[in-house]
Each structure stands twice: as structure tokens, then as C-alpha cells.
Amino acid sequence: MTEKTYFTIAEVSKKAQVPEYTIRYWELKFRLLRPLRLSSGHRRYTQADVETLLEIKDLVFIKGYSLEGARKALSAKRRQKKAAQAMAATSGAKTDLLESIRKDLRHLIKEL
């Protein structure tokens, strides 16, 4: 069975247990929530959009954040995630460089 890649606003509303008008309002307030728009104007949400929506719901309804506070919290989380990914990528490059230097040094030691 293939997994769906796009969901309608009605499907997302059921999944998140949030009214459709709330989802449309949150789209205005959160830049991270930008569904694909068809030429007919219908919205199509990806799984990442649904996960973002669930995060917003958790921050607002469960943890009691204001919309502005939830927006800032999500932005901070995204920045931390990007920084960690960049750090991991740089760390991998540094490891490769150190391994290359180590090989060169071993080769020089053998020649001496």
C-alpha cells in the first residue's frame, strides 16, 4: 500500500483535530506552514506540514504558548536543527581532513 504524499485541509483537520478555519488562520501567522496551492486554489499539505501543524497545536493548546511565542519557539527549534546539521557536516569534513593528514604523516614516517 502506498503512503499518501498530499492531504486536503479536511484530512489534516481530522488528523490534528483542529477546525479548518484555525488551520487557515495559522497559515497566515506561521511562515513554516505553507501548503501547496493548486491552480483551483485548493490546499495540499505534505506530511511535514502536518507535523508542523501538530507542533503548533501542542505549543498553543497543550503548553499554553501565545501564537507569537509558538512562532518564536518553532523558529528557534528550526535554527538549532540547521546549526546541528551544519556542525555535523563540518565535523565530517574535518574528520576526513584529519584522516588524510594522518595517512600522509604515516607515509612520511615510513620513508624516513
pLDDT averaged over consecutive 10-residue blocks of the chain (112 residues)? Answer: 84 96 95 91 94 95 94 90 78 76 85 78
Which domains does the chain possess? 9-82 (1.10.1660.10)
Q: Which amino acid is at 22?
A: T
> pLDDT at position 84, please?
81
Cα separation, 31 vs 49, whole angstroms: 11
Answer yes or no: are the C-beta atoms of 53 and 16 closer than 8 Å: yes
Q: How far is 44 from 110, CA to CA, in rounded Å?
A: 63
Confidence (pLDDT) at 2: 64
- Predicted pLDDT at 17: 96
Cα-based distances in Å from 103 to 69, 96, 97: 51, 11, 10
